[in-house]
A and B are shown apart, each in its own frame.
Chain A
Amino acid sequence: MTNLSVYAIETQNLTKVFEKKAKAEGSSIKRLFARVRPKKEEIVAVDHINIRIKSGELFGLLGPNGAGKTTTIKLLCTLLLPDDGTAVVNGYDVVKQGEEVRKCIGVVTGGERGLYWRLTGRENLWFFSQLYNIPDRMAKERIDELLKLVELEKRADDPVEKYSRGMKQRLHVIRGLVNDPPILLLDEPTLGLDPGAARVIRDFVKEKLQRDQKKTILHTTHYMEEADQLCNRVAVIDHGKIIALDTPESLKKSIQQMGIIQINVSNLQQGEERKIESMDGVKKAVVSFTDSVVGEATIKIHAEEAEEVIPAATEFLIRSGARIIALEQTKPTLEDVFISLTGRKLRD
């Protein structure tokens, strides 16, 4: 029985701690003993997070790799058990009512795993439909509909191993829909896809799943553009903690008073961002190298008064031997929100 909560997903102080073997140090004999009885250290993957997702909402969980996004999804879909706190999905407790939770969710992961490659797309979908106890005829009709929805009907009877990466991902998405769940947990569904294939998935999520089918969607990503375009609200997660939660617009507004300068340079030496960060008026500075051999990089500088910082920053860069290719003052993005909160870029 579902409760009367208006939230499709609700967590309270949800926490997950993993044990990891500590790195052995000392002499080779000590290291050998450490391999037999390794010391353990604890890693808090999800740290007392509180999120409430309304029915029909497309909620984003944005954070860099290792931030705790996938662990959160795994806790919500019952693949992991929490160490503290609670999570309720569609009114069901993920620990006490795991089977009920699994009946009303669909989970889609990015990457190559999760499909039987030697079976055809249709066979994969049929197999999973049966595990969700869908009568055969109804399952076949639903499979046809789903294949049509993602334009895979012509390749439905080919083995999955012959599919392109984008086709496999589309199949992944409809595998998660085979039981027509009201709640979808999408874990980096566009990971590793080329821009065209990623756009197809994004459009499908936004237009078909949220707008037409009114699904509640929790979407994790480390692509800030994706979170910005798709989500009604975004929680920014880092080191297992939610460090900001609001609509993309409000999050960006929160740093609107900040001047954001983007400088594209070449011939930049590593470590120069620290020197830039120590300049007067600079709040944060991050550098991402696109080609570290020739020192090609993009520098993002957050400053209270951009106009005052630009001359000093350009002078410093020229003196350090860097060549300025482009310089512009930009509007804040979700990446800037993350930089402003953590001092790091999302893909660091």
Chain B
Amino acid sequence: MSLAKEWRTFTAVFIRNIKLFTAYKAWIIATIIWPIPLLALNIYTYSALGTPDDVSQAFTQYGYPFAGSIVVGTIVYLLYNRLLWGTGISIQRERWMGTIEVLFLTPTNKMTILLASGVSSLVEASWWIACIFFLGGAIFGLQPNINSVPAVAISIVSTMAALIAVGVFFAGFFVLTRAADQLASGLQAPIRFFSGVAFPVGALPQMFQYVSYLIPVTYGILVLRKAVLQGANMASLWLDLLPLYIVAAIFMIAGYATLRIVERRAKKKGTLYLI
């Protein structure tokens, strides 16, 4: 494997994705609109249950401040969604654009294409992080408690890497189906539920928590809540980062294997180009 070749592919896919993203104004508008009501929905749902103080009190038993916990959960969930659509759907999108065959005709590593799609999706979603942090502070009283900036940075990067791994994992499956968009939509609600986007995972029944800890999104939310809201430093974070890396590695390896298997299957069955 030549690193220069992979870098060339990575750069080309990244630049192409950003150009395509900015060429479709509707995508930009959708990206701007989407996070705001989602965050508001997650927070205002609790207003029906009591005063902000009552809700904060309830959240404290899990060790997190109310608004901050929701803000962090929503950010990770939005990133997960962006990567599911940006990385997971990236091959399916080539089908929709009618370019999947010419792409598969090139002597490129599909993993590099997927990783570049993941990184470009993160860049596209960077607005969400900034927007939600701003809104969280200005409207919902988010008060970060950061003691270690490197810990926050490592938590963010690790979470993003894990989410790219999830995207790669699903990308393989999506090559097999012509209904990848429906599958991706179908995966949004369960992940939102099990990963504790809008509530601490500890509030779930034990059975459900087992499922939660199979999902990288859960660990991403956990480490970021600790780094951003509980002032955790690297020494206290690594135990939470470790399972994130393990689950991410499993997803990445499984994604790579799946991609190879399904590409071969699609070429055998002649379904690669079917829309």
Contacts and interface: CB of A to CB of B under 8 A. Distances in A.
Interface of A: 16, 18-19, 71, 74, 77-81, 99-100, 102-103, 105, 107, 109, 112-119, 123, 126-128, 130-133, 159, 175
B267 A81 contact: yes
B9 A131 contact: yes
Nearest to B8: A130
B239 interface: no
Most buried by B among A74, A99, A109, A133: A133
A115 B20 CA distance: 12
A115 B12 contact: no
Given A114-B102, A115-B99, A131-B106, A123 B270 contact: no
A132 B107 contact: yes
A330 to B, nearest CB: 39
B63 interface: no
Interface residues of B, number: 31
A128 B107 contact: no
Contacts of B235: none
Contacts of A107: 102, 105
A118 B5 CA distance: 25
Majority-rule SS of A interface residues = mixed
A159 B20 CA distance: 11
A79 B107 contact: no
Contacts of A159: 23
Given A18-B270, A113-B98, A133-B5, A79 B104 contact: yes
Most buried by B among A109, A112, A119, A128: A128
Interface in B216-270: 264, 267-270
A5 B15 CA distance: 41
Interface of B: 2, 4-5, 8-9, 11-12, 15-16, 19-20, 23-24, 97-99, 101-108, 264, 267-270, 272-273
Nearest to B95: A113
Nearest to B112: A131
Q: Please provide the 5 A-B residue pairs with the shortest distance between their CB atoms, ordered closest to farther.
A: A113-B98, A130-B12, A131-B106, A118-B23, A102-B107
Given A131-B9, A133-B2, A78 B99 contact: no
Given A113-B99, A130-B9, A133-B2, A119 B20 contact: yes
A102 B5 CA distance: 15
A80 B270 contact: yes
A341 B228 CA distance: 77
A220 to B, nearest CB: 15
A119 B99 contact: no
B9 A175 contact: no
Nearest to A111: B98
A77 B272 CA distance: 13
A77 B19 contact: no
B99 A130 contact: no
A179 to B, nearest CB: 8
Most buried by A among B12, B19, B106: B106
